[in-house]
Chains A and B, each alone.
Chain A
C-alpha cells in the first residue's frame, strides 16, 4: 500500500477507531515511513492542543424551547396557507365582480373595459401557473439528488 492509502488510516489510528488488525498494519508502516510518522505526530499535537475545546452550544433553555419553536413554525405555516387561500378566494370574487361590472357597463370607455379584462385574465393566468408549479414540485422529491 502506498503512503496515500495509509493517510486516512492514520486518522483512525490517532482516534483509536481502527480494528486491531489495521492498527498493526499502520504501526508497521509508521515504523518504516518517517513522513507518515512525522505527519501523525503533527496531528497528535493538534489534537492535544484542542482536546478540551468544545464548540459553544446554546444554553439549555434554547434546547428546551427547540421543539416548541419548530412546532410554532409548523402552525404558523398552516395559518399563512389559510390566509393565502382566503385572500385568493376573496380577491378572485372581487375581480370577478369587477370584470362583470366592466363588461356590462356600456358607459365605461372601451379602453378601460379591455384593461380590466386583461388585468383579471393576467391574474388568473399567474395563479394557474403558480398552482401548477406547486403541484409539480410536490410530486417530486427535490432532496433525492442532494449529494452527501
Chain B
C-alpha cells in the first residue's frame, strides 16, 4: 500500500467523523503547516495559531475533499487563505501603530538559530539581519526559502507539499534567493 493509499484511507475515516484518524494527519503535517504559516505571517505565535485553525477548518470541510488526491496541497489552500486574512487584519491595525517603526528597525524578524555551539556576537548579529531580511521578502519567496534553504526539504517534498511542479520550485527559489541577497546587501551584510 502506498503512502497515498494510507492517507486516503485515513481521510475516508475522517469523513465518517473519526477524529483520531484526523489526529494522525495532523501529526504528519503539523510542522510543514507551521513553516508555511511562518513564511506568510512571520511570527511564530501567529504561525502556530493559524496552522491549528487551518486544521480545524480542514476537518470541517473534509467531506468535500477527494481522498484519491494528496491532502497537503488542498490543506495549503485553507492555510494560505487564513494567513492572507491575518495579514490583511495586521496591515489595517499597523497603519496607525508603532509596529511599523519597530519592523523597520529590525526588532520584528523571523527567529533563526545556528546549530553550532559557538555563538559569538558577530554570528548573532548575522542571524538577526538574515531574520530581518526574510521578513522583507514576499510571502511566496519567504515560504520557499524557509522550506528549502533553512529546513532542508527536498525539491520533491516541496513540490508535493505545495502541489507545484519541480520546475516551479526551482524558479521560485531563484527569485527568493535573489530577493534575499538584495535585502542582505541593503542591510550591509557581506559574505
Contact = CB atoms under 8 A, between A and B. Distances in A.
A22 to B, nearest CB: 10
A80 interface: no
Interface string B105-141: 0000011111110000000001100100000000000
Contacts of A11: 170, 173-174, 177
A58 B154 CA distance: 22
The interface residues of chain B, by DSSP majority, are classed as helix
A110 interface: no
A19 to B, nearest CB: 11
Nearest to B24: A67
B140 to A, nearest CB: 9
B114 to A, nearest CB: 5
A143 interface: yes
A46 B150 CA distance: 12
B59 interface: yes
B149 A47 contact: yes
Contacts of B170: 8-9, 11-12, 17
A54 B180 contact: no
Given A8-B170, A141-B61, A56 B44 contact: yes
Interface stretch (B4-12, B47-55, B86-94, B95-103): B47-55
A137 to B, nearest CB: 10
Given A11-B177, A74-B19, 7 more contacts: A11-B173, A15-B148, A42-B181, A54-B112, A55-B38, A71-B19, A77-B56
17 contacts: A15-B148, A17-B154, A17-B170, A50-B130, A52-B116, A53-B114, A53-B150, A54-B113, A55-B112, A57-B44, A58-B44, A66-B52, A69-B52, A70-B26, A73-B52, A77-B60, A143-B61
Interface of B: 19, 23, 26-27, 30-31, 34-35, 38, 44, 48, 52-53, 55-56, 59-61, 64, 73-74, 76-78, 80-81, 110-116, 126-127, 130, 146, 148-151, 154-155, 162-164, 166-167, 170-171, 173-174, 177, 180-181, 184, 191
Interface of A: 7-12, 15, 17, 42-43, 45-50, 52-58, 62-63, 66-67, 69-71, 73-74, 77, 141-144, 146, 148
